[in-house]
Structure 1
């Protein structure tokens, strides 16, 4: 009987192993060759950053919980990093692609990113984070489908299309970076692009997409630009909002949508108009200049040109504020949800910490700088996360040099790495206060938050009475209107070093960003991954022995 028992045990072990392999979430692989190339989206030849010779770059196409592997070959003459805008990277800020967490990929070398899109669905994008490279391209869409067993709250569309919209400069990113290094502002962009181009409506444009009459289509709209909020609309075709930044929404219908820098919306449109060409328009908002980008959408089998009467954008920012107030989380939808630690009932959780972040601008030294709570961030040679892991943080930066409650008026700016500590699983209120005359847009890596309030004026504790504590949309990017404030609630339940930054590229480059460090109190691998064996090492820790694993 012993041999038979041994054989049965062996078979059971094999079955267990097979089950383990099958149960692992699927992998999706990409190879990117990043290079310079010549493009002319505004009729002027210029150098751009291409991925696999594409502008915009190739789409990352995956489903909830997939593991994404991207092997990046850097064929440009500068260091390079990519970040995954809005992807939470649970326990894994090592793959976040910001200078505070990773050593850059040097020219002529490659690095393989590996991360999981855990418990997420929706429309996202990626972009390069070194210097002003985002202005030069290297940007593409990242879509996450719901798993087949989890239904979405609308019928499957006939097809789906990307609309990557954004302002665009005709100068090279190196020339623009030199402008900022000299202490000046970038000034106004030269145009607006939709998927890397703009239609001239001269009868020679090709249609971006084609629709079948009577069918419904899903559009994924992201503002991937550098500084300007845009209004997006399509002639004769109202849009039904179904998702934004990873959350299914109450399905309201809009003639146009204000899309602030870094934000994404997913909408449905139905091809129920006269068969002909129609124009999609993305135009600037809240700026002293007017620019627009256009794209043609055609009905299948029709050769009738689009009308030249284009729909107008709204005018005031109060209109945009009122539109924001109509966005509500769809509480009945079945889908992967962010914040897996359970803060869905966010209105019933006690706030343990309030952090007010005030942006400011200064040119006292003759050079332009932007700041958060009086500190204008600079990236040290050694990534902050590496310095922390190797135990030499005190040689690279100081924690908590800003206050949670800054003065109402901040006149002096300090230039230094800006890093604060946060306690794991604290439920936090962050107030973004904007005393300037321009719209601000912020993104927080590693998290989604509940955008509960947004009003004109200055924030005070009594403003909490106006918070939406029931169905605020969980998202990762927040706009802050001029002389206004926005409030978000979130749980710091994702250990790592996470970048909070202005989505205005000029502001970010000149210091309007910071990092939040959240450490595992139990030193548990359940909370955060150890330093990957493939991680690049640089700065003052380059020749130091690798420390023993910190999390067990």
Structure 2
């Protein structure tokens, strides 16, 4: 790895030159730039004591933390040293007017083996806790993920005192099977099954050579308050997080400041991030932070040690028990409220802070389903199971050849009859620019689901058991629902969100359960501005790879 790293001076020179090629001259020059060079390689890891091939970034698992500030321009030169095509996506970063940097197979051609690509995006008007991960194949099962934080600018006060330190806590389920094996299982029509364990920052909590605890993840000083940014980066499992002997004050989730309620435990569903403040106010010793599986018959747990400075006393062996049942989780969700008085940067309000007074122009009901197609397991939304074409959807649309790659609106705003067969095809719907839309997710299955929408924050206004009806709107929170990018749908239940589609581009709406996502439970939303204008969307970057049917085509006229 060391032989492949560039010197600091040459790195800055190369990246400065590359940034000029990205076609984003409209970004204001006074907004600072931060630069990274990432070498993506394979390496042997053993987080559960079983040696396996992991995906490393600059030799690290998990990957390096990105520490940025509101409006920073982030430039990351990614070298793909794997034997497979590769992409990163940036979970929760809105990429205003810039789906070209989203890093999904619907927007970007993959980085070929042995090649590099420079991502350039701005964390415009955002604060909060996010993460990045590989978006192709089942690469996420091998690593390649890491934390991404966006700090508030110093001139903008935040609704709590500065913590003594700021820690990233990446929790997630983990499989010991190779990511290629998991992909082959899914391709053959089978499930990847239950995870082998749970990790906290790449560790299970026990040192496998001795059976004792791993070295402490964090060291704190008695009497001081610390911020923990907890993100579920796993493949499919909701997790409960808690800290032995300590309470947690919730201050932010998915980029929005919250009303500061205090919790003993938090359910963190796949793709979600929570920020909590924890005061080291207990007897100085070691304590466990705990992440355990939810909604599974067999509970699997990971631990990580928090050590009070100078402590030599081990943590109590009694692990605090997690909650049982999904009603507890639903009731906790109902306590989450947006902090409407916080003066820090907020995610784009998607139309207005007063979202409850905006007329809904369209309601889209999305019902997930499981089906066997040609003898293989598939998942669908409204009867269509998404398949990625060789030509990314965004490129086909930009080069005006979408009719040769996919068809818009194969699904309607309502699900088809239950008996209708599932169709395999690119699943792309259109949304009129700047219209205020209600989306209802219905889950008729026994397992919990989690959905994420790239490019946006939305308002999760309601949840409930059974099927959604128009009467369900009487239960909506139309005042202070927390603006966020990922939301859960409980078994045999519905969840409703509202947002304005004011960010032009091609955006992925997906199940955060990687198995379901890989097997088709996703779609793309095409949001086109009526004017081909740089005011609404950036042009294709000069360094963008071309693949599929756009290879060799002349560039369309640039946006003006």
TM-score exceeds 0.5: yes
Which residue number corresponds to residue 516 of structure 2?
Answer: 507
* Structure-1 separation of matches of 2:276 and 2:78: 31
Q: CA deviation at 1:410?
A: 5.4
Which of 242, 252, 267 does residue 261 from structure 2 map onto? 252
Q: Within 5 Å, give how 1:96-115 maps onto structure 2.
A: 96-115=102-121
Instruction: Determine which of 161, 169, 173 is the counterpart of 2:179.
Output: 173
Shift of 1:545: 1.4
SS in 2 for 1:344: coil
What is the aligned residue count? 532
Instruction: Mark the CA change 1:236 to 1:149 in structure 2 (over 3 Å): closer, same or farther.
Output: same
Greater mean deviation of Cα atoms: 302-311 or 200-209:
200-209
CA contact (8 A) 2:350 2:457 kept: no
Question: Of residues 468, 473, 482 in structure 2, which corresponds to 1:459?
Answer: 468
* Structure 1 unpaired stretches of 5+: 1-19
1:480 to 471, 484, 489: 489
- Of residues 66-75 and 360-369 in structure 1, the stretch that sits farther from structure 2 once superposed is 360-369
- Equivalent residue number for residue 195 of structure 1: 201
Q: Deviations over 1:201-236 (max 9, x none)?
A: 844521111110000000000000000000000100
Q: What residue in structure 2 maps to residue 53 of structure 1?
A: 59
> Are 2:126 and 1:126 equivalent residues in the alignment?
no
2:32 aligns with 26
Aligned equivalents of 1:460 and 1:130: distance in 2? 36
The corresponding residue for 1:432 is 441
Other-structure match for 1:288: 297
Match of 1:313 in 2: 322
Cα deviation digits, residues 304-335 of structure 1 (max 9, x gap): 01101110010010000000000000011111
222, 230, 249: which one pairs with 1:213? 222
Measure, in 1, the Cα distance between the counterparts of 2:281 and 2:89. Answer: 39
**428, 443, 449: which is aligned to 1:419?**
428
Contact in 2 for aligned 1:373/1:410 (Cα 8 Å): no
Aligned positions of 1:240-279 closer than 5 A: 240-279=249-288
Q: Which has the larger radius of gyration?
A: 1
* Alignment of 1:348 onto 2:357: yes
Which residue of structure 1 lines up, in the alignment, with residue 405 of structure 2? 396
Q: Which moved more, 1:333-342 or 1:245-254?
A: 333-342
Distance 1:533 1:312 in 2: 53
2:526 is matched with which residue? 517
1:135-159 deviation per Cα after TM superposition (whole angstroms, max 9, x unaligned): 1100000000001110000000000
Cα deviation for residue 363 of structure 1 reads 1.6
Does the 8 Å CA contact 2:269/2:450 hold for their aligned counterparts? Answer: yes
Cα distance in 2 between the residues matched to 1:262 and 1:406: 25
Q: 1:329, 1:98 → 2: CA distance?
A: 29
The secondary structure found in structure 2 opposite 1:368 is strand
Q: Who is 2:47 aligned against? A: 41
Q: Quick check: 2:89–2:133 contact (8 Å CA) kept in 1? A: yes
Distance 1:341 1:171, change over 3 A: closer
* Distance change (3 Å), C-alpha of 1:364 and 1:100: closer
Distance in 1 (alpha carbons) for counterparts of 2:510 and 2:389:
16
Aligned to 1:10: none
Instruction: State which of 536, 539, 543 in structure 2 corresponds to 1:534.
Output: 543
Deviations 1:267-288 (A, max 9, x none): 0000000111101110000123
Q: Which of 133, 143, 147 does residue 149 from structure 2 map onto?
A: 143
2-structure distance, mates of 1:383, 1:204: 46
Question: Taking structure 2 as the reference length, what is the TM-score of the superposition?
Answer: 0.94
Tell whether 2:386 aligns with 1:380. Answer: no
Cα distance in 1, alignment partners of residues 501 and 189 from structure 2: 36
For 1:400 and 1:129, locate their aligned partners in 2 and report how far apart those are by CA, in whole Å. Answer: 24
Contact 1:374 1:410 in 2 (8 A): no
Residues in 2 aligned to 1:22 and 1:258: alpha-carbon distance in whole angstroms: 39
Whole-angstrom CA distance in 1 between matches of 2:491 and 2:443: 6
2:85 — aligned with what?
A: 79
Compute the displacement of 1:522 (Å).
Answer: 1.7
Query: C-alpha displacement at 1:364, in angstroms?
Result: 4.4
Confirm or deny that 1:162 pairs with 2:168: yes
The 1:410/1:52 distance shift into structure 2, 3 A limit, reads: farther
Partners of 1:227 and 1:204 lie apart in 2 by 26
Q: What is the correspondence of 1:444-455 to structure 2 with a 5 Å cutoff?
A: 444-455=453-464
- Give 1:21 deviation, angstroms: 11
Is the contact between residue 80 and residue 104 of structure 1 (CA under 8 Å) also seen in structure 2?
Answer: yes
* Native 8 Å contact 2:256 2:346 kept in 1: yes
| C-alpha separation in 1, matches of 2:109 and 2:416 | 35
